[in-house]
Amino acid sequence: MLVIAAESLLKFVYMAGAISVALYGLNALWLTLELWRRPRPAYTPPPVQNEWPRVTVQLPIYNERHVVTRLVNAVAALDYPHNKLQIQLLDDSDDDTRALADGVAAAWRARGVNISVVRRPERTGYKAGALAYAMDDATGDFIAIFDADFLPTPDFLRRVLPSFLAAGSGDVAFVQARWDHVNRNYSPLTRCQALALDGHFGVEQPARSAAGYAFGFNGSAGVWRRAAIEDPAVGGWSADTLCEDLDLAYRAQLAGWRGAFVDQVAAPAEVPPQLIAFKRQQARWAKGSVQTLRKLGGRVWRSPWSLTKRIAALAHLGNYLIHPMLLLLLLVTVPIVWLNVPVPAPLAALSFTSLGPPLLYAFAQRRLHADAWLPNFLALPLLMLFGMGLALGNSIAVWHGLRSTGGSFARTPKFHVQASADEWRQSSYRLPISRETLLEALLALYAGAGVVGAVYWGNLWAAAFLSLFALGFTLMFGIEVWQSRGPAMQPSPATGTRSAAPPRPATQQRARQGAPAQRPEANERGIGD
């Protein structure tokens, strides 16, 4: 009787996990088909505006010694009327980034750029807190945001702002542009990340936007209408989730505003070269999106949106739930194959949904990189293994997201890695190995034991499935150990290469440095890194 009960429980859990994973694949198929039937809008040059609106560009940074100069140089080169553009460098740093930020801001200010450095007494609320704090000094009617690793092109604002200014666009709260990648070909890891992000920005975001469904602001390379942020029905920036961007976007759309996605405009950025940094980024997104689901899921379901739109929104907010489902499948499949427990045959019919993610990534590459889509797409097998290997860390993050609000904002370090010769291991920003690495090794052994059992019983389907987990966790463990070799060096305050960081003042006052009214022409600019 006990054996029968255990087998029934294993079957039930397996079925629940298999159906959940199938729904994830089905969602990818739906988004791909949704976009496939809609022709991509042809590029049209930005219209000539008689009067451009005031824009504030906010650059939230925290300990970004390697990229802060590159970021400010790119933003200072934006081709926009000098009397309508304000740049705020929101610096929460407590290392030598402070001196670098002050130096590059002063250099551009001396050349007529309206740029100020804003510092807070305390780093309360992390990025959301910094964005909210700086609004008091912001002069723009529109707020553009770029994270530290971004390099917007000079025409970015002129190409994005028309989406707010066209007739009938008064209810557009935010416009999100596509992310591109300055270091796609740096390593196999960066190629996999670029492929995954292209799937999001090449299919998922434009499909949701084109269908009129809710979608998220991605936190960077986008512009907000200030009136939408300050709308009492929206509530402004909030730090009670780690995805403050997704949270604000959904609250705005629930309040009657809408978003716009422009995949014809791309902002290059750097993807993490360190696997542990990539995992940290993914875990933060997983925790924050689930926190947003907890916070707003009920409001979404009770909203006057159509049933299809509500289901699409909940699927979007719950996207990271796939990882605990995958981990659950691993944990139950191993005893199922060793006990030779038969699973319901109809589940095999769900396997067609596994085509969803590959088709999504292939279609995204065809849309975005027609001349190089196949070489880019060949990173898919490795991306699948990384996806399996992320199941542990993202499941832990989802668990924390289901149980708590807010939390520590674990930043993703940026290393100014673009060319293949660029090195990052000597940076003090390099992250150490955690206890999670050992758990990944144990899960690799666990999955490997399942492969042995599946082969023994002749269950080749289960053997192939478990092999993905075994290889994925082995890959994570091996790369993390390999990338941890060698000591990290402390950078110096002056050059960002060695020595200790300067001490942080005990107290800070709001530092908003004045800016001159004059600004030189774009072709006179250029302050090197």
Q: Which residues are catalytic?
A: 92, 245
Within a 13 Å sphere around the CA of 203, how many CA atoms are in the beta-carbon half?
27
Closest of 418, 363, 504 to residue 34, by C-alpha: 363
Closest of 174, 121, 129, 143 to residue 58, by C-alpha: 143
- b/e burial code for range 37-49 (CB count within 10 A of at least 16 → b): eeeeeeeeeeeee
Handedness of CA 134, 129, 247, 414 (dihedral sign): positive
Within a 13 Å sphere around the CA of 234, how many CA atoms are in the beta-carbon half?
24
CA distance 401 to 71: 31
Q: What is the side-by-side order of every strand in the sheet holding 258-269? A: 115-118, 85-91, 55-61, 142-145, 222-225, 172-181, 258-269
Name the residue with tokens 């087998």.
7
Read off the tokens for 445. 């052994």
Read off the tokens for 72. 């400010």
Give the total residue count for the chain.
Answer: 529
Name the residue with tokens 């009787």.
1
CA distance 474 to 386: 10
Q: Which amino acid is at 38?
A: R
Residues 6+ apart with CB under 8 A from 348: 461
Q: Which amino acid is at 422?
A: D
Radius of gyration of the chain (CA): 24
Closest of 426, 473, 418 to residue 445, by C-alpha: 473
- b/e burial code for range 283-307 (CB count within 10 A of at least 16 → b): bbbbbbbbbbbbbbbeebeeeebee
CA distance 78 to 165: 19
DSSP helix/strand/coil, 436: helix
CA distance 258 to 512: 32
What do you get for the CA distance between the two ends of the chain, in Å? 71
For residue 216, the tally of other CB atoms under 10 A from its CB is: 26
Backbone angles phi, psi at 262, to 5 degrees: -120, 95
Handedness of CA 211, 289, 359, 190 (dihedral sign): positive
DSSP 8-state symbol, 346:
G
Strand partners, 224: 143, 174
CA distance 258 to 251: 10
CA distance 440 to 430: 20
E strand spans, 234-319: 258-269
